[in-house]
Amino acid sequence: MKWRCREVEFVFPRPAVVMGILNVTPDSFSDGGQFVDVAKAVVHAQKMLSVGAEIIDIGGESTRPGAPEVSAADEIARVLPVIKQLKAETTAVISIDTQKPDVARAALESGAQIVNDIAACREEDAMWRLVAETGAGYVAMHMQGTPQTMQANPQYADVVTEVNEFFADRLQRLAAAGVSSDQTALDVGIGFGKTLEHNLQLLAGMRHFTKHQRPVLLGVSRKSFVGRLLGLEVNERLPAALACTVDAIGQGASIIRTHDVAETCRAIRMAEAIWEKR
């Protein structure tokens, strides 16, 4: 199975791909005021690359429940200088984490290769036509609602079945918009319109999402369901995230989105070394 992201191809089976998270919001890499410190953000990305990240996922808008929306212009102003600097200094594969086609277009024009779209539940196809036109890789993430509303009262009859139906439907709609299936990776969207119970059911059922013959991406890093289950603060959640990661890869997940690249790479390498001997 191949994941085609413009000039880059990830060919599976292979060791899981680690995607390092680079949030460039004023509260993450502040210049001391309203703006993002580009140099600090690029140093952080280089650190993640040096310890094993193969993709850097750059986002200029928080997707936390209830987070305020950011205009496309502000998002572009945050992410573009970082993408340009990273392209100038490294050969990193760059993913743009955005819901907005205008932001995705600007990022792709500056050399990004992947669009990480938490709003793949959208009805209109502007984002997908852009992905088709550019040959970018595309992460289609499941979300019930929007970041502003999603945790109000998420409901599913059977969350695993419904997310799988969503994936089948999106692959059809993407194909209709001209996106080849080898451009797409699928993501259940842990924490996006899901209760703790839904998240656990999705993690337990991870093997069911491989049936579409597309790479499955998992994002659990520092998420609040871990805090809720184990009573932990954000900075205490890494061991639990590593447990989820290793179990998900064992069930067939192949891309891991994380803040903690070095630790995640070590956990994956250890598990994969054991599995090779089975």
Q: Based on CB atoms, which residue is closest to ligand 9MG, 202 or 273?
A: 202
Set 257, 269, 277, 278: catalytic member: 257
Q: How many CB atoms sit inside 10 A of residue 28's CB?
A: 18
Task: Kindly list the distances between the CA atom of residue 156 and the CA atoms of 4, 63, 204, in Å, as whole numbers in the listed order.
Answer: 32, 21, 16
Q: Is 47 a catalytic residue?
A: no
Q: Tell how far CA 249 is from the center of its chain.
A: 15
The tokens for 5 are: 């992201």
Residue nearest to ligand 9MG according to CB distances in the complex: 219
Q: Quick check: 89 and 83 in contact, CB under 8 A?
A: no
CA–CA dist 130, 133 (Å, integer): 5
* CB contact set of 124 (below 8 Å; sequence gap of 6+): none
The tokens for 47 are: 């650190």
Q: Is 223 a catalytic residue?
A: yes
Q: Any idea which residue has 């290769």 for tokens?
A: 113
Provide, rounded to whole angstroms, the least separation between the CB of residue 13 and ligand 9MG.
21
Set 78, 214, 223, 237: catalytic member: 223
Q: Based on CB atoms, which residue is closest to ligand 9MG, 12 or 276?
A: 12
Q: Based on CB atoms, which residue is closest to ligand 9MG, 19 or 267?
A: 19
Q: Site residues (CB under 6 A) for ligand 9MG?
A: 59, 63, 97, 116, 118, 139, 141, 187, 189-190, 217, 219, 257
Q: Based on CB atoms, which residue is closest to ligand 9MG, 83 or 190?
A: 190
Provide, rounded to whole angstroms, the least separation between the CB of residue 59 and ligand 9MG.
6
* Active site members: 223, 257
